[in-house]
Amino acid sequence: MRMKLGCRLSFNVPVPTPMIFMLNVHYSRVSDLERPDYLRTDPPVRTEAYRDGFGNWCTRLVAPAGGITVSTDGILADDGLSDPVGLESVQHPVEHLPSEVLEFLLPSRYCESDVLSDFAWQRFGHEPTGWAKVQAVCDFVHNHVRFGYEHSRPTRTAVETLNEGVGVCRDYTHLAVALCRSLNIPTRYCTGYVSDIGQPPPYAPMDFSAYMEVYLGDRWWVFDPRNNDIRFGRVLIARGRDAADVPLTHSFGFHELTQFEVWIDEVD
């Protein structure tokens, strides 16, 4: 299938303000782009692209005083398959894990796996290792947290999400990431497009979505504690330890978001 995807974000800034954007499709999907999702600005300004320490594609610029709109718009070819499922995927003992995944066992800014360790083992220690344990974590988080944009707070951590029981997709993901890491399962935070393809209406306004990848067997697998179902048309933008590593926008000064629009739709 083919999907049209992109976004449009507008900001007001009182003075020229350096900003970093992480809005382009991840390099692992670039070969699927029939029409590249180049980042455009209005008014036109000089931009510089680079890769961060996780390989994510970033664009930096200086927004002029008054405001700026940034947008992307591309067409991507997708195999039309759902998120893969690997029920028999094994969980490796820590001593047998590849060295490059070990950083995804450690606590991070929003995922205090060290603080949640006792809770995680008391709650999930009896679960079978591997896929079933990760699914038990996702089931718990999905049922424990009540979704609502009115509950959004950019500083909320996994521990606070557990205690408050409310949040948005990033809060679901931070809590699930922290619990899995507490259980010695390497887990990384992801952000991207999650389409409504195959879902029954009515459809909520489209937004970027947070989910996670866990290392089981010899590969990374997608889990989505917010939706907790199988999705079609998932397109990665960036991955890291938590939301601090992969902010869609980062401003080095005051800014006001005045427009936010995201789309991902199947096209003929």
Query: Which structural domain, as residue segments, surrounds residue 56?
Result: 2-80+248-267
- Give 204-219 pLDDT, tens digit per residue: 889 999 999 999 999 9
pLDDT in tens, 4-30: 999 999 999 999 999 999 999 999 999
**Cβ distance 59 to 39 under 8 Å?**
yes
Would residue 86 count as lying in a domain?
Answer: no
Quick check: 191 pLDDT over 90? yes
* Residues 105, 214 share a domain: yes
Q: Amino acid letter at 103?
A: E
Q: What is the percentage of the chain residues whose pLDDT exceeds 70?
A: 100
CA–CA separation, 15 and 118 (whole Å): 47
Residues 170, 261 within the same domain? no
Q: What is the CATH number of the domain that holds 70?
A: 2.60.40.2250
Closest alpha carbon to 216 in 73, 93, 53, 56: 93
Question: What's the rounded mean pLDDT across residues 236-257?
Answer: 97
- In this structure, the number of other CB atoms found within 10 A of the CB of residue 102 comes to 12
